[in-house]
Structure 1
Amino acid sequence: MAANNVSEILPRVLIVSRRTLRKNKFVDFVGEYHLDLIVKYGAIPVIVPRVAGIHMHLASFEPIHGVLLCEGEDIDPSRYQPANSETDKLSPEELDEIRNLHASDTAIDKEKDSIEFHLAKLCLERNIPFLGICRGSQVLNVACGGTLYQDIVTEISRKIPEENRVKHMDYDNYDGHRHKIKVLDGTPLHKWFKDSLEGKDQMDIMVNSYHHQGVKKLAPRFVPMAYAPDGLIEGYYDPDSYKPEEGKFVMGLQFHPERMRLADSEEFDHPGCPCVYQEFVKAVIAYQKKVTRATNGPKSLMLNNHVLEKKRRIVRSFSLARDIYSAGNGFNSIKESELNFGADFLATKTMLSEQQEIKLKEIGATVRNAFTGDNTVKVNEDKQKLTRKSNMDKLSIEQLTDLVSFYQGMSHICSETLDQKLHNIMD
């Protein structure tokens, strides 16, 4: 039986596939354990295929209630290494050695990078729950301004005492390999694994490991949850965005809790292993409910015609700006006042985070400056259109896609915030 409204539909978690060769043909796949756990706790996994150009069509996967990024090849180093910096770069000999040891991981997949970084940015802009496992945790850190070790053995292991070295990749014992990590008190990870931490002073658990890269500089917004003996961060989260019951969840784990199973068994190493998925899906469900309430509007809140019209014009303002950026035309039928509604709204006190407010105000100013012009100088219509087209042509495909993605979420953000403000006024 079909669902009658969106509130009866299970929330959607996007997962990007990984590409491999099978019978001389490309095959896209996602590990089944991820899918099993997402479904078990009440959400639906939606696989985003690693296909050229799909990052330009992510709006087609709406509504997005959560994003899980997991395994894959190394991230393109240019995303976290300044082009003019020689300090952190490895020598050609070191890079050749790494490629020989980790041939399956060092083949950079720029298309997968593009898809996943677009999704990560979308989650951060709209506060969509995000869980990064292994490569996904590295994507999240880089998307927020952090950096990575290109190779743990080269950059860490060879520079520390042998007793502190950790084997993070064991090709001969792929699923069975474990190493120790120290869990930090007061973190979600400690809460989930408390039954496995024996005694008051025991903070170590054994985890699996399938990687030769890892977090080097942790992005400022994050707090570590666990370290390996060699100092590598094995888990982190944003404490300001961790309230699963309110739809907030931003976290990265370097190890794979979904694959930590006893030999020849489906039983987990620790009772806490599936908790990360359980709490993630809890946040996804709460986020869906929040979005649904914002879309439908508070049933108990009766808005007069004046307020409803103001809300409609604010949302239309950002929708128009989005369409202008994506199409580069349509100016003739647009009044300056319609665009100003969005810019004026951004100048008021909103319930957004400081980071969102700054970004929105910048976009609001851009809307004004790009489309209203200097009132003291009257430029003819043809010249205006030519200037706008010229400016758009200078933008890269990725920049244009970022603008379209941003404006696609803008009307939703403004609508939800306005509902909250109006609700507080009525209360």
Structure 2
Amino acid sequence: MKPIIGIPSDQLVEINPRMPGDYPAYAPHDVKEAIFAAGGIPIILPFPDDNSHAQEAARDAAALFNGLLLPGGPDVDPLFFGEEPIPEIGITLTAKDRFEIALIKETLAANKPIFGICRGIQILNVSLGGTLYQDLKAQYSNYAIQHSQATLGHFPTHHIRTKKQSHLQSILGDEVVVNSRHHQAVHELAPALEATAVAPDGIIEAVEGKSQNILAVQWHPENLWHNDPTEFKLFTDFVSRAQG
């Protein structure tokens, strides 16, 4: 049996001229295709608008899959890590955050693996008690490289260095060039996580669970795997972990 990979949905909040009044739930195309290519079966998990249903929906959803993939998406609402929003923050979806935080906790309680991408590393850190830079240019004094690249997403633009003897190092090696499309990032790291890759300016680019089956990265390997077999290993590794 191929492992089932749950992917929390995003939601189209802008008015859709082809479907007025509808707000479709969707997941990134390249993430879905990477899971298929790696031997998994992706399922999209929409979040309930009613916050009172978030916990039950997360518990029921976690029973359906073998592994949880947290994709990129909107900014994380800073109220979930005890801060007010600064002027530079982007669009947030509180209902999505609430559902994903509950989903992460249910997944870990069931001892199922998690793989996070971009926003995924951020909501994972927040769900486990960490905080974020709401905007790197406004809040990170050592900001020195372009973390929100101007070029297309399938072009890698800056280096990261992995931690020695980490699981990530065994997949990628000591140093790789990655793409970068983010303005939020991990600030205070959650106690259950350890940083296993950093950018040249010190921003955390990957985390792993100290005692749980977690790997999350700040870049977008789903945009790179077609032309980079090393980046594809992140997906095959995750599907393999979900296979058990």
Could you say which TM-score interval applies, normalised by the shorter chain?
0.7 to 0.9
Question: Percent identity of the aligned residues?
Answer: 29
State which drifts further: 139-148 or 26-35.
Answer: 26-35
Distance 1:276 1:260 in 2: 11
Aligned partner letter, 2:194: V
Aligned to 1:16: 8
Aligned partner letter, 1:267: N
Distance 1:179 1:44, change over 3 A: same
Aligned to 1:257: 221
State which drifts further: 43-52 or 71-80.
Answer: 43-52
Distance 2:162 2:46 in 1: 35
| 1:27 aligned onto 2:60 | no
Distance 2:199 2:179 in 1: 11
Distance 1:166 1:277, change over 3 A: same
Distance 2:104 2:57 in 1: 15
| 1:57 aligned onto 2:66 | no
Q: Structure 2: which 5+ runs fail to align? A: none
Q: Name the SS of the counterpart of 1:26 in structure 2.
A: coil
Quote how far apart the aligned CAs of 1:231 are: 0.9
Aligned partner letter, 1:283: R
Distance 1:58 1:181 in 2: 33
Number of aligned residues: 235
Aligned to 2:182: 211
Quote how far apart the aligned CAs of 1:44 are: 1.5
Aligned to 1:140: 124
Q: Name the SS of the counterpart of 1:255 in structure 2.
A: coil
Quote how far apart the aligned CAs of 1:173 are: 3.8
Distance 1:107 1:280 in 2: 29
Q: Is the 8 A contact 2:9 2:26 kept in 1?
A: yes
Q: Name the SS of the counterpart of 2:57 in structure 1.
A: helix
Aligned to 1:190: 169
Aligned to 2:76: 75
Q: Structure 1: which 5+ runs fail to align? A: 1-8, 83-88, 100-105, 195-202, 242-248, 287-427
Aligned to 2:160: 181
What is the Cα-based RMSD across aligned positions, in Å? 2.1
Q: Is the 8 A contact 2:121 2:216 kept in 1?
A: yes
Q: Is the 8 A contact 2:4 2:41 kept in 1?
A: yes
Aligned partner letter, 1:116: E
Quote how far apart the aligned CAs of 1:167 are: 0.9
Aligned to 2:240: 282
Q: Name the SS of the counterpart of 2:230 in structure 1.
A: coil
Distance 1:41 1:172, change over 3 A: closer
Distance 1:155 1:58, change over 3 A: closer
Quote how far apart the aligned CAs of 1:193 are: 1.8
Aligned partner letter, 1:15: I
Q: Which runs of 4+ in 1 moved over 4 A?
A: none
Q: Which has the higher helix share?
A: 1
Distance 2:115 2:172 in 1: 18
Distance 2:60 2:132 in 1: 31
Q: Which fold has the larger relative contact order, with Cα–Cα distance below 8 Å and residues 6 or more apart in sequence?
A: 2
Distance 1:173 1:46 in 2: 27
Q: Is the 8 A contact 1:15 1:48 kept in 2?
A: yes
Q: Is the 8 A contact 2:59 2:106 kept in 1?
A: no
